[in-house]
Amino acid sequence: MGDKQARLADNRDLTTGSIARKLLIFAWPILLGNIFTQLYNVADAIVVGRYVGPEALAAVGCVGSINMIVHSVLIGLGNGVGVVTSQFFGAKKSEELSKTVNTTFVLCLILGPILTVVGLLVGGPMLSLLGTPLNIIEDAHLYLNITFLGLMGMMAYHIGSFILRSVGDSKFPMYTLIASSVINIVLNVMFVVSFNMGVAGVAWATIIAQYLVAVANVIRILQLKIAEVNRKNFKAHRDIIAPVVKIGLPTGVQFMLTSLGMLVLQSFNNSFGSNMVATVTVMQKLDGFANMPAMALSTAAATFVGQNIGANKMDRVKTGVRYIMIVNIVVGVAVGAVMLAFGRGLLGLFTDSEEVITMGLAAVAVISFTYWANGVQQSATGIIRGAGAAVVPMIIMFITTVIRLPIAYFLAIVPGRYTGIFWSMFIAIYFGMIATMGYYFSGRWKNKGVVKHNNAADAE
């Protein structure tokens, strides 16, 4: 048992050993977990699309941009905690690591109920403001309200996963995701097919699975003794809140601004009718699968860079980044080719509506050429955030969103061609990649770490 524990501890430490091997060991559970996360989301779409109808599919899909505004806070907090935790772990600062975990738990208990109330209050008015088609707005509001009740579970899961991955444990979040996905799928079929609960059924299945995963992650953190959680330490430490907010706030704002932009785009989609909304819903699910390798590598990059900057090993950072970028390009091109070759069959999994499938194929023909670029941008962003530099990625994402809106308006709304929505996405992704890589090559992100070293600015 002692040898096994030592081996597991060594695998969690990304500052030593073979870089390619450590990245592979760390990244594959994240990728597998992402697959089951997407199955988790896709199950909702397939069940309602097949057993309720295309209007129910559109209702479930059209709330995503509203949900993301509230979830932006969770994503920002999780990124801030993850970066701070990984750097303290790499620097072997156990006291600061413990304070970070305790502070995070307290913040979750405070923010969770607040976000739930805010979501319940603004959901309905936002759907009306966006011009949601009348034939789906009632179901959309019902689905939205139920999922907001699961925000505490969503928060605890996200934060717990960031903490575990930041100390090198990427397998346990994978196990809990697999379990929750299976539970979600079983409950989806039970609630919708057997009990005929409609969109409410998939919403309840989702939040039940989320709470179960959240509890499991918290238990795992306590078992690993990452932090000493007791009455004395269980408080928000001011010296921890500052770096978490400094890193997490720009990330949260970035996702919030993106979500606000997506709200405008959702209103554009709504103007083309419920079939367009259903098409975008299906494409978002397929994109989720297509972008999973990039997401896994981005998470691995952030933890790898965070730990090694904490340990002051910039040469190791440089080598690891090279591996990550090459893999992203190769995988992104391959994924795009698969989407082009099997697009009709993949779209047909969600619906038998020929109009939705035709519109989806138009999207595939454009978006399939963006996956490698999106992968490069995501990994570069993960690297930069892992170093503690979160402001510039926020600015780039804001500019990208601002650029996409007028492009979508003039390419889609003005001429009345729905394909303009997809071309605006194409242009925005390439702009974001070029801007992010420009900042990466500038090297200005290298001295932004929480753990300071005398030679951090010129270590390379």
Contact 172, 150 (CB under 8 A): no
Contact 141, 123 (CB under 8 A): yes
d(CA 410, CA 397): 20
Contact 424, 412 (CB under 8 A): yes
Residues in the chain where the model's pLDDT stays below 70 = 1-12, 40-41, 447-460
Query: What was the pLDDT predicted at 6?
Result: 58
pLDDT tens for 103-138 read 888 888 888 888 888 888 888 888 888 778 888 888
Burial 35-55 (b: 16+ CB within 10 A, else e): bbbbbbbbbbbbbbbbbbebb
Contact 111, 195 (CB under 8 A): no
Contacts of 353 by beta carbon, 8 Å cutoff, 6+ apart:
54, 275, 278
Contacts of 68 by beta carbon, 8 Å cutoff, 6+ apart:
255, 258, 259, 262
102: tokens are 């305790």
Q: What CA–CA distances, in Å, run from 331 to 77, 97, 129, 448?
A: 29, 35, 39, 30
**Residue 330: CB atoms within 10 Å:** 13
User: Would you tell me the crossing angle of helices 151-166 and 64-90 to the nearest 10 degrees?
Assistant: 30
Half-sphere exposure of 117 (CA within 13 A, CB side): 5
d(CA 389, CA 382): 10
46: tokens are 């397939």
Query: What was the pLDDT predicted at 5?
Result: 57
d(CA 384, CA 391): 10
pLDDT tens for 43-79 read 777 787 777 877 887 787 777 777 777 777 777 777 7
239: tokens are 């010296």
| Size (the chain), residues | 460
Query: What was the pLDDT predicted at 1?
Result: 46
Query: What was the pLDDT predicted at 373?
Result: 93
Q: For the chain, report the end-to-end CA distance as a whole number of angstroms.
A: 39
With 0-12 / 13-18 / 19 or more C-beta atoms within 10 angstroms meaning exposed / middle / buried, residue 13 is middle
pLDDT tens for 266-282 read 788 888 888 888 888 88
d(CA 118, CA 121): 5
Q: Amino acid letter at 346?
A: L
d(CA 19, CA 418): 45
Contact 104, 159 (CB under 8 A): yes
**Residue 183: CB atoms within 10 Å:** 17
What would you report as the CA-atom Rg of the chain, rounded to the nearest whole angstrom?
A: 21
Q: What are phi and psi of 280, to 5 degrees?
A: -65, -40
- pTM for this prediction: 0.65
Cα 114 → chain centroid? 21
Contact 175, 232 (CB under 8 A): no
114: tokens are 């607040």
Query: What was the pLDDT predicted at 455?
Result: 47
Cα 250 → chain centroid? 15
Eight-class DSSP state of 430? H
Q: Let me know the angle formed at the C-alpha of 14 by 9 and 19, rounded to the nearest 5 degrees.
A: 125
Contact 363, 340 (CB under 8 A): no
Q: What CA–CA distances, in Å, run from 375 to 35, 38, 372, 420, 435?
A: 16, 17, 5, 23, 14
Query: What was the pLDDT predicted at 247?
Result: 75
